[in-house]
Chains A and B, each alone.
Chain A
Amino acid sequence: MKACLDRTGTVEGLERVLYEASVRPGARGILLLTCDANHYEPLTIDPVLKRTRLPVAGAVFPAVFAKTELLELGSIAVSLPSAPRVLACGGDRSDEADITKSLMESGLGNHPTMLVLTDGLASNPTAILDALFDVFGLEITYLGGGAGSLTLQQRPCLITNEGLVRGGSVVVGLDLACGIGVGHGHAKVAGPHQITAASGRLVRSIDWHPAASYYRHLIQQRLRPGEDDTGGVVSRNFCLAMNRLDGEFVVREAVRVLDDDSLEFAAEMPEGELVDVVRADRAGMLAAATEARQEAQKNLSAPLRTNLCFTCCARRIFLQDDFEKELQALDSGEVPLFGAITVGGEIGNNGDRYLDYYNRTCVVGAFEV
C-alpha cells in the first residue's frame, strides 16, 4: 500500500491526493483518512468523490498519521492493490435487523478482511458489530474504529464514492490477509464495581451512587501523592474496564459529565456490568503500542509490508507530547505506517472472541501488501 499526503486540508488538496492515489501502478481502490479540521462539507467534496474513478472508502478523524508524522489538517489517500467492496450501511434510524439484511445481501462474506469505519458519535454504534458478528462470524479479520470530531458534535464523517455521510458505517471488504494486534496498557487499581443504571453510552449510577461524583470519589482515593487529576471534568489517568472471564478487560473511557451528575462514555456501557477502575500509565501504554504492532505481525501469516493503525483519541490526550513516542512505537521503521486517531472506539479482532468496541486502545493491522 502506498500513501499520498495532503497537508493543506483544501478541496483541491483532496482532489490531488485522490488523483495521485488512483493513478499509482496497481491501484484498485483508495482508503481515504482525512482530518476533521479540514471542515469538509458534502456540498464541496461530494463532486470530487463522485469523480474519482476507483472505489473510495474512508472517514473523517480528529487526526491522521503516516509513519510518525501526525496530521491535524489534510488527508492521507492510501492506494489499495486489491479492489475493495464498499458498503455504506445503517443510519441513525437503522436497527440491527436492517444492518443484518444489508450485510447479507452485500456479498462481503468472501473477503478475508473487513475494514469497519463507524460514525463514533452515532446513537447505535454497537449494532454494526453485532450484525457483522452474526452474519460473517469470526472467520473474518475485523479492523477499524470510530470516526468523528473531538467536539463530540455529530457531523458527516463517513466517505464513499457517493459522498460524505453522517451516521451508520462503511464496511470495506479487502482481499488481503491481515494480522491484528491490540493493546491498551492499563492496569486495575480498584473494583469490582457495578454499573447500576445505564442506557447506551450514558451511565447514571455506579454502585447505586450518582455516577460522576462517585467515579470522581473512586479516582481520588487512588491518586498517587502529588498526582493531580482534577484539571478536567473527567479523569485522564483513570478509566473503567469491563471484566472478561479470560482475564481480558475492555476499557471504557468517560468523555463527559452531564448536568444530572451522570457520565457519558465513549462506547456503550451495559447496565449491570461489573467494572474495575484502571489506571493509565505512560510507559505501559507505549509498551502496549509496541506489543500491539508485534502481535499484529505475529498474526500475519505472510511477510509484513504495511501497518494500518487505529488508536484512541484519549491516548493522545493522555500522552500529550509523548504521543509522538506512541507513533514511534507503532512504526517499525521498516514498512509504511498509516493510521487515524479514533473517536468512540476501536475495532480489532483476530477471530478469537466476541466482536466488541475497545476504548483507549490501539489496534494495529499488519498487511501483506
Chain B
Amino acid sequence: MNDLLLRFKILFDVLLSIDEGIDVTSILNRTLRVLLRKLGCAAGGVFVPKADSGAEKFELVVSVPRHIQSSDTLLQAADFVREMPAEEFLQGQLDPSPVHRRVGDRDFFHVLTLPGFGLLVLVKIGAKLPEELLQSMQPIVKRLAEACLAQQRKSWLQESNERFRALFENTQDSLLVFDESGAVVEANQQAQKRFGLSHEQIRAAIDAGLGLTPPGRTWSDLFAASGPNSSITWEQDLKDGAGQKMEAEIRLGIYSFQNHKRALLWIKDITERRTMEREQLRIERERERAKRLESLGLMTSGIAHDFNNMLSAISGHTELALLDVDKKDAVMQRLHHIEAATRSLSALTKQLLAFSGSGRFKLEPIDLGQLAEEILGVIRVSLPQNIDAILHGSPESCAVMADAAQMEQIIMNLVTNAAQAYEKNGGVVEVAVGRTGLDAKAIAARGLALDPGDFVILIVKDQARGMTAQQVGQIFEPFYTTKASGRGLGLAAAQGIARGHKGAICVSSTLGVGTTFEVLVPALDEARHQPFAPAEKTPAPVGKAPGEHEGTVLLVDDQPEVLEMAQLLLERLGYEVLAASGGREALSIFEKHKHKISVAVVDLTMPEMDGIEVFDALRSMRPELRVILSSGYGNEQVSLRLQNRESAHFVQKPYSLSQLQTALENAMHRSA
C-alpha cells in the first residue's frame, strides 16, 4: 500500500513538474530531477529524433546531470539509444513498451517512449527499476510527451510569429492592414513613421493623400470584387504625414483572416528609384547623342579634309591666276570673287573641323581667365550699347593646355550667342572662370563622359528668353539654329573643340529665365608643367618678294591637283621643285638629290607611307633637313606627333601663296 502510494506520489510530482516548466527544456529538466531523486537514479536523459546525413538518429537534448559522464553505464545507455530506429519511432511503429538493459553485473538503464516526442532514459546503479513502476508510469510519460509537443508547437508558433513580426517591422516599405470598413487594423513602424504615429493619424494621412485605392476603385468595390488571395498593383503619387510627395508602388492583397476579409497594403517608396531611372535615361540619351555626334564628326572630318584638298587647288590656282592676269582685265574681278568664295569655304571647313573635334590644335599652356578677359575686351566694342558683358574672375590659376585660337572661338561663340539672345531688350552677359574638381558622381549628374579630375570651368550666363527643353536637346547639333542668319555650326564647333581638348560643354536653360553654358577643360597640372614660361621669341621671317627665293624644295602630296598647284606656287616663289606623288618616290628623289634639297613640304595623309613616316625617313638620312608638314586636317593626335618632332613645321591646307611663303621662311629661318 505504502509503495503504491509512493508511486502515485511520484507520478503526481512528475505531473507538477511538467506543469511548472516554461519551455521544453525546463519541463524535461525538472521532470528528470524529480524522477532521479524519487527513483534513486544516477542519471537520466531525453533523446529526440534528428536527421543526420540523411539517416534519422536519436540525439540527446536534455540530460541530468547536464554532461554525459564517462561511466560505462551512462555511455552505453546513450550509445544504445542513439542507434535505436528513429524512423520507426517517427512512423509510430516502435514498440512503446519500456526497454531495460543491464550494464555490467548490477547496473541498469531503462528506456521509456515519450510518444511522438522522443525517448526517456533512466540510469539506475545497482538495481533495476520495478517493471510495475515503469508500466504505471506510461500515462505520465504520455502526458510528458504531450506537454513537450504542445510546448514545442507553442515555441514554433512564437518563433514563426516573431519571424513574421521581424519581417513586418523591419522592411523599409510601409505595410498596412485594413478591415472591410477601411479602418487601419495594423501598421508597421515604417508606416507609422511615414504617415503618423497612431492608426487614426495614418488613416487621416491616407485620406488626405488620395485615398490609397487603385484609380477609379473604392474600398467597398475592392472587397466585394476581390476573392481571397487576390492582389492588384499600381503606382501612385502620395503625400506622407509631413506633406512630402512620394512616388509609390502599391500592392493591395486581399486575404481571409478569422472569417473576415483583410487587405494588406504594401507601399513601396520608389521615388529614389524613379529619379535614378530618369537620370539613367537622361544619361543614356546624352550618350546616344554624343555617339551620334561622334559619328557625324568623323564623317565631317573626312569630308572637310577632302574638301580642303580641293580648296587648296582652287585657291592656289586662283592666286596664281591673279598674279598672271592683268589688273585691268575683266577676269580679275571674277578671280577675286573666286578667291573670296574659297576663303569663305575655308572658314566653313574650319568650323566643320572644329565640330568634328579634329581641327588643328596647337596645344600650349594658357590661362583661360586671362584669355576670357582679353576676348571680352574685344567683344564689348562690338556689342550693342544696351548689352554689357562682365567677367567674374578667379583668384585661382585657370591654366589649361589648349589651343588659344580654338578657346577664343568658343568664348566668342558663347558670348555672342548670349548677347544675341537678348534681342532688342538688352541685358548683361555674365562670364565666370574658375577651377573646380569633379568626381564621377558630379560628372554623371551633368550627363558627361569625362574622366574625374580638376577642371577649369568657364560659365557664360544670360537672363534672356531661355530655351525649351527641345531646343536645349538640339542646340549642339550641326546646322541647327534658332537665329535668322547663321549656319548652325557655332555651338557644334564649340562642343567639338571642347571635346578635342578632353573637355565638354553643357547647357541648362529655363524658358523665360535664361541660359547658362558651362565649358569644362581639364586643368593644367602645374606641378608637371611650366604653364607660362616665357615664349621663345621667334625672329620675324625676312619677307622676300615672290621669285626672290632660292633653293630646291622636295614637294610630296598624293593628290595630283594639289601637287600641281603647290609646285606652281613654289616655283612662283622662286624655288626649284622636285615633286613626288608618294612617300617612296619622295625618298628615292631625296636620295638622288640629298645635298641639293633645302626644304621638304610633305602631306601628312597619304596612302602607303604617311607624312610622319616620310618625315622620319628624311630626318634619318639628313637630320638637319627642314620639313614642313601640311594637311587638310591636323587633328590632336597629329598635333601631338608633331610636338614630338620639334623641328617640324606645319601649314594648314588650303594654303595661300603668302601662307606657304611664311611657312617656308619660318622653316628656313628657324633651322638656320
Contacts and interface: CB of A to CB of B under 8 A. Distances in A.
Nearest to A136: B65
Nearest to A270: B13
A135 B66 contact: yes
Interface residues of A, number: 23
B6 A243 contact: yes
Interface in B88-119: none
B40 A246 contact: yes
Contacts of B129: 245
Contact of B42 (A191, A192, A248, A353): A353
A303 interface: no
Interface in A330-359: 351-354, 356
B133 interface: yes
Contacts of B125: 138, 351-353
A246 B42 contact: no
Interface string A134-148: 111111000000000
Interface string A158-192: 00000000000000000000000000000000011
Given A135-B66, A353-B42, A245 B6 contact: yes
B437 interface: no
A22 B433 CA distance: 94
A246 B125 CA distance: 11
Contact of A244 (B12, B40, B71, B126): B40
Interface in A256-310: 272, 274
A305 B69 CA distance: 29
Given A245-B10, A272-B12, A274-B6, A351 B65 contact: no
Contacts of B74: 137
Interface residues of B, number: 34
A61 interface: no
B65 A245 contact: no
A141 to B, nearest CB: 13
A136 B39 CA distance: 20
Contacts of B3: 245
Contacts of B133: 245
A245 B66 contact: no
Given A133-B65, A352-B126, A191 B2 contact: yes
A244 B38 contact: yes
Nearest to B67: A137
Contacts of A354: 33, 36-37, 40-42
Nearest to A138: B42
B325 interface: no
Nearest to B124: A246
Contacts of A248: 40
A124 B130 CA distance: 34
Contacts of B36: 353-354
Nearest to B125: A352
A348 B43 CA distance: 17
A198 to B, nearest CB: 14
Nearest to A250: B37
A191 B2 CA distance: 8
B7 interface: yes
Given A139-B70, A352-B126, A353-B125, A134 B65 contact: yes
Given A139-B69, A192-B2, A245-B133, A274 B40 contact: no
B65 A272 contact: no
B5 A138 contact: no
B46 to A, nearest CB: 15
Given A137-B69, A138-B65, A272 B16 contact: yes
A282 to B, nearest CB: 26
B12 A134 contact: no
A274 B7 CA distance: 11
B71 A245 contact: no
B50 interface: no
Given A244-B40, A246-B39, A354-B41, A137 B127 contact: no
Given A139-B71, A352-B125, A353-B41, 9 more contacts: A134-B64, A137-B66, A138-B69, A138-B71, A245-B3, A245-B39, A245-B130, A272-B12, A274-B6
Nearest 5 interchain pairs by C-beta: A137-B65, A352-B125, A246-B40, A137-B69, A139-B69
10 contacts: A134-B66, A135-B66, A138-B71, A139-B70, A244-B37, A244-B40, A245-B6, A272-B16, A274-B9, A351-B71
